[in-house]
Structure 1
Amino acid sequence: MLTAEQADRTVAAIAAIQRPDGAIPWFDGGHLDPWDHVEAAMALDAGDEHERAEAAYRWLADHQNPDGSWYAAYSYAEGHDGEPTNRARETNFCAYIAVGIWHHYLATGDDTFLEHMWPVIHSAVEFVLELRLPGGEIAWKRDDDGTYPPEALLTGSSSIYQALRCALAIAEHREDPQPDWELATGSLGHAVQYHPERFLDKDRYSMDWYYPVLGGALRGPAAKQRIEASWDRFVVPGLGVRCVLPNPWVTGGESAELALALWAMGESDRAVQILADIQHLRSDEDGMYWTGYVFDDDAVWPRERTSWTAAALLLAVAALGGDEATTAVFGGERLPVGLAPDAAGCCQA
């Protein structure tokens, strides 16, 4: 897939996008969203750029809202210096810091920084759990006026499930039990596993297909069954993974995330093939990756090379290569699972 030199070049290209304040926008002059910012920071850690990753997390600490959230988008266009441009607060964006910080700790062993970030993580998780719905799923956003639609996204809730498990791992490491988080994690995992009707119908999007696996809610035969059921709908042999049906558009980020999900369910050979298929998106100019390719028109679109596309690919490569921090947060074997509701509606370990 990648030589060590090629991987290093991609890491360096992400680092070149990072601003002096630690922010990692989508591209130079683009906007930042907190989820993709964390993904890029994780890729920096996987590439041994630990100081840069720490700077990215300090950016989050410096920009956290009083309620524990972050806004959905911040502008780094010319003349802007991180001003919010979308004041909605998306729950999966806010939760993902727990995945990033646990990954950073596992990569560095830096207990001091983990302690420094604990109040940030705690506040973010509390914000997210304020938007729990009766079935355990998490409403996908809170608007600037404080209201939120009572609607949940399967992709977002699957990502939050992974984040809550990482938050519980941090709490356990600190010997600071969080029983409410355990209940919320178990209920959310149960909803993702057994109650698709509780989520908005986004079946056209490949992320809804593989994210229950990538987020760790599905493993074993259930994961295998889900992936096989829609493989032919979304995978374009030799090119990658469609973002949304029926569009003839494959995207690097979704393809790399599917590769991570395949690795997590024990199918490394197929993961390697998916990553090999999307190397046509790699730019010889800087080692970054184009966001997507419209195969009916033989055209790269949009004309942007995004930090998060490169980051997802680097994390998939790191997992396949056995990087300890990356395998821990995406494999999930040692992450807490919370307390799942039993058939009677009570809770069990």
Structure 2
Amino acid sequence: MTSPERIAEHLVLPGVLTAEQAAETVAGILAVQREDGALPWFRGHHLDPWDHTEAAMALDAAGEHTAAARAYEWLARHQNGDGSWYAAYHDGEPDQVTDSGRESNFTAYIAVGVWHHYLSTGDDAFLDRMWPTVYAAVEFVLGLQQPGGQIGWKREADGTPVNDALLTGSSSIHQALRCALAIAEAREEPQPDWELAAGALGHAIRRHPERFLDKSRYSMDWYYPVLGGAITGPEAKARIEADWDTFVVPGLGVRCVVPNPWVTGGESCELALALWAVGESDRALTILQDIQHLRAANGMYWTGYVFEGETESDKAMWPEEQTSWTAGSLLLAVAALGGEEATVAVFGGERLPAGLEPDCCGT
């Protein structure tokens, strides 16, 4: 087990994690990881490439760089020929695909993880090894970009594109494209097409909500344009304020979807990251403190909690699962508030390339 003595100061946060608690959480994620590097939600469940990457980033934030590198090498070994990954693999078994769709935001997120790992380690050889994987992933994703800048959701198993765009997914891709451009810059391999794509995507998110499916009942569509770096500054703060009372349940965390009485750890931690990114660290800390009721005795976190019901027994942790990515999102939010350099760079976004804004709408 990871010892408290090895836990960096940036993972200790009053009311959220002591060094001992942080060590338990890191050890919990490591216990989920398979020897081949795969990070399923929990052992016996499925792996998806996005959550696998988020858990790997948390390991890097905790100083477990060898384990994180193994996770990225798993992705490199099992990338499809078109640059994608399947949406789900049973327990991380590459030959047991349970969802053969190929989702754009799942595929793009490797760029965020690889850049985060490089900033955490300075490992140039790792960046060289992963560059072909990142390049192919980005090219797959941009093959789904629509004329308005938004990114289509996925390709079906037979290759048919689903061109409808999700605001949350496209916002995550926006962050990924900026990280991919940073990787390209570090390798001195300019990618002007990616700059145009990132700029067009960011503009669509900021100015053209009509280009995305309406999923406004979901809290992710509220905060992800901020978390993904497309909306910043006063506009970002105004967006957060506008729906705060809709999604935030004081003392419990953040709803996944309204009007359901269900708060979730992942959405709460991601909102905390978005709050930190716009300078609202006090609010971010409160959110992270509020969700400690989701912490299990083993240091992992329950996915969510149903806080209303006809009887007291209807109130319960649900679903009954402790996921690697929920614990990972908590560690990343704590690392950002603690000033861990790589996590700050990836989620703060100030040093990431912005892309080229299109000549549209007079803005």
TM-score over 0.5 for the pair: yes
* Cα deviation code 1:148-181 (max 9, x no counterpart): 1220000000000000000000000111000000
2:351 is the counterpart of 1:334:
yes
Indicate yes or no: 2:308 matched with 1:291: no
Matching residue's letter, 1:287: G
Measure the CA separation in 1 of the matches of 2:31 and 2:286.
Answer: 29
CA distance in 2, matches of 1:287, 1:73: 25
In the alignment, does 2:192 pair up with 1:179? Answer: yes
Letter in 1 for 2:162: P
Matched to 1:193, the amino acid is: R
Alpha-carbon displacement from aligned partner over 1:80-137 (angstroms, at most 9, x marks no partner): 6651110000000000000000000000000001000000000000000000111000
Aligned partners of 1:96 and 1:163 also within 8 Å? yes
What is the distance in 2 between the residues matched to 1:159 and 1:81?
24
Counterpart residue number, 1:7: 22
TM-fit CA distance, 1:344: 6.9
- Give the whole-Å Cα distance in 1 for the aligned partners of 2:361 and 2:330: 42
2:172 to 159, 162, 179: 159
CA distance in 2 between counterparts of 1:189 and 1:308 reads: 26
Kindly indicate whether the alpha-carbon contact (under 8 Å) linking 1:250 and 1:294 is maintained by their aligned counterparts in 2: yes
Determine helix, strand or coil for the equivalent of 2:305. Answer: strand
> Cα deviation per residue 1:38-93 (whole Å; 9 max; x = unaligned)?
0000000001000000000000001100000000000028xx66511100000000
Query: Percent identity among equivalent residues?
Result: 73
In 1, distance between residues paired with 2:32 and 2:326? 13
Q: 1:320 aligns with which of 294, 316, 337?
A: 337
Residue of structure 1 in register with 2:206 after alignment: 193
CA drift at 1:192: 0.5
Q: Find the aligned partners of 1:54 and 1:184 in 2 and give their Cα distance.
A: 28
Q: Quick one: distance in 2 between partners of 1:12 and 1:150?
A: 40
In the other structure, the counterpart of 1:307 is 324
Q: What residue in structure 1 maps to residue 67 of structure 2?
A: 52
**1:17, CA displacement in angstroms?**
0.3
Counterpart CA distance in 1 for 2:163 and 2:336 is 35
Give, in angstroms, the shift of residue 306 of structure 1.
0.3
SS in 1 for 2:97: strand
Q: Partners in 1 of 2:52 and 2:163 — Cα distance?
A: 27
Q: Distance in 2 between matches of 1:252 and 1:344?
A: 38
Give the equivalent residue in structure 1 for 2:10.
none
- Corresponding position: 1:68 with 2:80: no
The 1:172/1:303 distance shift into structure 2, 3 A limit, reads same
Tell me what 1:129 maps to: 142
SS in 2 for 1:176: coil
C-alpha separation between the residues in 1 aligned to 2:50 and 2:360?
Answer: 34
Following superposition, the deviation at residue 218 of structure 1 comes to 0.8
> Aligned-pair distance for 1:342?
2.3
Q: 2:301 is aligned with what amino acid?
A: Y
Counterpart amino acid of residue 276 in structure 1 = Q
Contact 1:76 1:82 in 2 (8 A): no
Q: Take 2:193 and 2:263, find their aligned partners in 1: how far apart are those partners?
A: 40
Greater mean deviation of Cα atoms: 273-282 or 289-298: 289-298
Q: Distance in 1 between matches of 2:157 and 2:40?
A: 22
Q: 2:322 corresponds to which letter in structure 1?
A: R
Q: Does residue 108 of structure 1 match 2:121?
A: yes
SS in 1 for 2:243: helix
SS at match of 1:241: strand
For structure 1, which segment, 141-150 or 329-338, has the greater mean C-alpha deviation from structure 2 after superposition?
141-150
Cα drift, residue 8 of structure 1: 1.5
| Mapping for residues 70-109 of structure 1, pairs under 5 Å | 70-76=85-91, 83-109=96-122
Q: Is the 8 A contact 2:304 2:319 kept in 1?
A: yes
C-alpha separation in 1, matches of 2:304 and 2:361: 46
CA distance in 2, matches of 1:136, 1:228: 27
> Which segments of 5 or more consecutive residues in structure 2 lack a partner in the other structure?
1-15, 309-313
Q: Name the counterpart of 1:43.
A: 58
3-state SS of paired residue (2:267):
helix
Give the Cα–Cα distance (whole angstroms) in 2 for the partners of residues 123 and 328 of structure 1. 24
Measured in 2, the distance between the counterparts of 1:267 and 1:82 equals 44
**Shift of residue 343 of structure 1?**
3.3
Q: Give the superposition deviation at 1:28.
A: 1.2
TM-score by length of 2: 0.93
Contact 2:226 2:274 in 1 (8 A): yes
Q: Which runs of 4+ in 1 moved over 6 A?
A: none
CA RMSD of aligned residues (A): 1.2
